[in-house]
Structure 1
Amino acid sequence: MKVAILLLLCSLGLVFAGMSWQEFKDKYNKQYETVEEETYRKKIFEENLQYIEDVNRKYEKGEVSYNLNMNKFGDLTAEELKSIMNGYRGKTK
């Protein structure tokens, strides 16, 4: 029974197979100006990836009703993402 559920989850793409730093950079065409910036962004990426994997483990156990996946914002902090996403104010009247 457990095997059947795992196979179902895999076939639906709900089991997250971690993405490497290089795969992330290649997929989203990420390039950094300095070694220091890349090191900083990689650390953020790894923290975000760990968070995603933790949430997805909870999802697999039925503890949460959603799962997560890496996207192009994976090398940003929560504060940076908030500032990008909340920056649009729309048309003023």
Structure 2
Amino acid sequence: VSTFIKNRSGFERDGTASNELGNGWGCYDLGIHNQNLILKATELGIGSLIMGIRNEKKIRTLLNIPASEIIVSVIALGISDIEPERPKRKNIDEICKFY
């Protein structure tokens, strides 16, 4: 479970947001963290699954996560016993626009 503390990353010492992203910086930082976690797990032969559907209240209670933290993701890690069938990847030009 990855979380971040509300109103810390992306906020000034006086509590004002550094820019329009506000608490969005926490999600941004955890995205980078989660990507590196999954890449390293894959390198070590460990499979992963990022779960978007979860019960926030149960997780918070089970793991004693305080209300001051935002739960962003739940990632399962384990040894895969199957290789899932994957759809054909899109061409980079179909999903990105570079400026």
Q: Same fold (TM over 0.5)?
A: no
Q: TM-score, normalised by structure 1?
A: 0.31
More helix by share: 1
More strand by share: 2
Q: TM-score, normalised by structure 2?
A: 0.29
Greater RCO, CA 8 A, separation 6+ = 2
